[in-house]
Amino acid sequence: MTDLTPIIYTDTAHTSEKFLWPRSEPCHHGKRFRLSAASGQQLTYRHPTEALFPARELVDMPPKRLRELEQMPNHSPRPSDRPKHPLRWDEECLRYTSQTKTNFIIGVFRGLGMVGLLFFIPILFLSSIYISYLTSKYDSGNILVNIFFNFDWFFFLAVFIFLFTMWGGANLLYRLFPDYTSGFQPGPMWELNRRTGMVKVFANSAKKSTAWKVAHELPFHEFDCYIQSSPTSQGIAQYNLSLVHYSVEAHVALVGMFGVTSRLDQLAAWDMLQRFMDTSQPLPDSPQWEQFRSLDPTTLEWDKEIARPPRFWRDMEDEAFNQKIVELQDRLSAFYFG
């Protein structure tokens, strides 16, 4: 039977006041490391932390999806494989790893094939019809028959079959060889642990021989957060986060977990991380953490004190949930941009 007793914090567990502690070691960052990991604007710390999270945490996990996850076979907030799973989001830690290269490549082919079938093929068909019309309107006989015979069927069908093979072949590989084609790297890339207050950076998640080897294990309060920007092809700025140790060359690329999004979402993600690691405060009250709230001692006491319904998000009606999204977006805009 699954043990659902709350976790026990260690002596090294993080609280927001630790960000105020002095730092004694000099910075040993090289120029290349600073340019790649510690570029951008350094974000400030919160003391106390704020109960904020990105709006996408609501958009990505509506009540219907939460209920579907609950109904999956053998569902448990503490599955048996959790300790050694390279991807985690629970009351104890955030742990991340990337897709395997095979999964990524097949996913690219599948995506290109689907986009081609949905968008390129209709455009190609209509443009080919128009070109056939232009070459047929001066021919004698029925114009529809002329368009049909002047249509470049060979080229059109070749493109269609090529795109369909990309999309259908990728789906077939996923179905026939799920263990080989879809999955994650053998080990994690990084871990933020609320129970211990520590950040782990792993050596090489792609190789089985080094999959769980820890390169750095350092306190969370010794890390600085940088927000980095890069333009899209349309020239619109997009942002991502990077956690960087103040002294040694250890960093956590948060882009894998929180993506490349708006500045507003990334600022809220940094506040959410600080709240998650701060054991003096309850877990962020977002849908993803709801099933884990009773497993964290601080959060459990907080929820009892305010009489929070244990299924607040999961049992919410769609109309009320959509209103919560609007309210959160307004709250974030007012908090960060005044």
Say which amino acid occupies 201.
V
Question: What size, in residues, is the chain?
Answer: 338
Same domain, 173 and 115: yes
What is the spatial distance between Cα 254 and Cα 43, in angstroms, rounded to a whole number?
Answer: 14
Whether residue 111 sits in one domain with residue 87: no
Do 265 and 165 have their domain in common? no
* One domain for residues 44 and 83: yes
Model-level pTM?
0.80
More confident residue, 315 or 153: 315
Asked if 208 and 282 sit in the same domain, the reply is: yes
279-318 exposure pattern, b = at least 16 Cβ within 10 A, e = fewer: bebbbbbbbbbbbbbbbbbbbbebbeeeeeeeeebbebee
146, 258: one domain: no
Examine the domain organization and report whether 235 and 262 are in the same domain: yes
Question: Are residues 203 and 170 both part of a single domain?
Answer: no
In a domain, 304, yes or no: yes
pLDDT tens digits, residue range 92-136?
Answer: 999 999 876 776 787 788 889 898 889 888 998 888 888 887 777
Two structure tokens written together for 246: 């103040």
pLDDT digits (tens, 9 = 90+) for 285-313: 999 999 999 999 999 999 999 999 999 99
Give tens-digit pLDDT for 18-46. Answer: 999 999 899 999 999 999 999 999 999 99
Specify whether 194 is located in the same domain as 161. Answer: no
User: In terms of domains, do 136 and 196 share one?
Assistant: no
Question: Would 248 be classed as within a structural domain?
Answer: yes
pLDDT band of residue 141 (cuts 50, 70, 90) is: low
pLDDT tens, residue by residue, 235-250: 788 999 999 999 999 9
Domain that holds residue 151: 101-181
Task: Check pLDDT > 70 for residue 1.
Answer: no
pLDDT band at 139 (very low <50, low <70, confident <90, very high): low
Residue range 246-273: average pLDDT?
95
In a domain, 215, yes or no: yes
Question: Could you give the number of structural domains in the chain?
Answer: 2
Cα–Cα distance between 85 and 96 in angstroms, integer?
10
201 and 332 fall within a common domain: yes
